[in-house]
């Protein structure tokens, strides 16, 4: 485990030194501008707008980092051959993958936490006070982080067997398809042949259900989010990540490096 953490720590350090966290400046500027503009609207929708905008920005920025950095986690090491000296250590290839994954998730967690703090600050500016119900925003942020974990795992899987560009396209494609899993399942009630119904049913259960993580509406309107949903989503993410990373490890462990 210490070897995994060593790789994770270095991955986090790399992200920091490669200025990945500079996106926080952009987020801060966005929140400041939003707070000023929303303050002018003053139609009792400031909170809804601020939370929707903030969560969308947290999600989008996180997704961009998860996809682009996630794809580069392994492919960059292979291309630059930095991996050769690392794999000469008593380190299994799956440990390296897990370390890289953990390191990027740590980076995303810090990044997401900082953006969440920025969002709360902006809310404080707009509302002049925070209430207990605002804590639902934290739950929404946590679910975004879970979603990002899954995106990182997928990006790593694709980067293990294809080019970085294709890995980005595949990850993006799976993410977009995963947003429509519920719609795909509801196709079963339309006039489809039994074979097609079966096909879509199978696909809908194989695809990661990214729609599950979207609680932005509930968070923006201060509606509670069921604890059960959070627990199920957490377990779902952990299980899905384990399967995806397991597949990535099998591929990566047999891969000839340059």
Partner 1 sequence: MPSPAIETESLAKEYPHGFLHLKKKTSLEGLTMQVQEGEVFGLLGPNGAGKSTTIKLLMGIIFPTAGSARMLDKPVSDVSMHREIGYLPEQPYFYDYLTAAEVLDYFARFHGYSGAERGERVERMLKKVGLETAGKIQLRKYSKGMLQRVGLAQAILHDPKLVILDEPMSGLDPVGRREVRDIILELKNAGKTILFSTHILSDAEVLCDRVGVIAGGKLRGVGAPGAIVGMKTVGMEILFELAEGKAMAGKFLATASKSGGGYRLSVAEKELYEALDELSEAGAKIIAVTQIKPTLEDFFMELVGKERAQAAAVEVSGK
- Per DSSP, which regions of 47-192 are E strands? none
Nearer to partner 1, 90 or 227 (CB): 90
Residue 255, helix vs strand vs coil: coil
Spatial separation of the C-alpha atoms in residues 103 and 52, rounded to whole Å: 28
Taking the chain, what is the end-to-end CA distance rounded to the nearest angstrom? 27
Task: Burial-class residue 48 by CB neighbours within 10 Å (0-12, 13-18, 19+).
Answer: middle
- In the complex, which residues of this chain contact partner 1 (CB under 8 A)? 2-3, 6, 10, 13-14, 17-18, 80-92, 254, 256-257
Nearest one of 170, 177, 142 to 59, comparing CA atoms:
142
Residue 47 CA, distance from chain mean position: 24
DSSP assignment string, 86-118: HHTSS--HHHHHHHHHHHHHHHHHHHHHHHHHH
């Amino acid at each position: 485990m210490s070897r995994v953490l060593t790789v994770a720590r270095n991955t986090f350090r790399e992200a920091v030194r490669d200025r990945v966290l500079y996106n926080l400046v952009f987020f801060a500027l966005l929140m400041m501008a939003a707070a000023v503009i929303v303050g002018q609207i003053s139609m009792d929708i400031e909170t809804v707008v601020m939370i929707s905008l903030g969560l969308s920005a947290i999600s989008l920025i996180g997704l961009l980092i998860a996809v682009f950095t996630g794809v580069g986690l392994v492919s960059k090491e292979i291309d630059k051959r930095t991996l050769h000296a690392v794999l000469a250590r008593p380190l299994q290839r799956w440990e390296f993958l897990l370390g890289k994954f953990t390191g990027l998730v740590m980076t995303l967690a810090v990044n997401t936490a900082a953006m969440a703090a920025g969002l709360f600050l902006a809310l404080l500016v707009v509302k002049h006070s925070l209430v207990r119900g605002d804590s639902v925003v934290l739950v929404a942020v946590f679910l975004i982080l879970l979603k990002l974990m899954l995106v990182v795992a997928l990006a790593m899987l694709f980067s293990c067997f294809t080019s970085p560009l294709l890995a980005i396209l595949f990850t993006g494609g799976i993410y977009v398809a995963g947003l429509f899993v519920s719609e795909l399942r509801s196709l079963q009630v339309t006039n489809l042949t039994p074979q097609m119904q079966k096909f879509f049913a199978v696909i809908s259960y194989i695809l990661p259900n990214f729609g599950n993580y979207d609680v932005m509406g509930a968070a923006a309107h201060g509606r509670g989010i069921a604890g059960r949903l959070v627990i199920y989503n957490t377990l779902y993410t952990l299980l899905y990540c384990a399967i995806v990373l397991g597949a990535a490890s099998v591929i990566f462990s047999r891969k000839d490096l340059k």
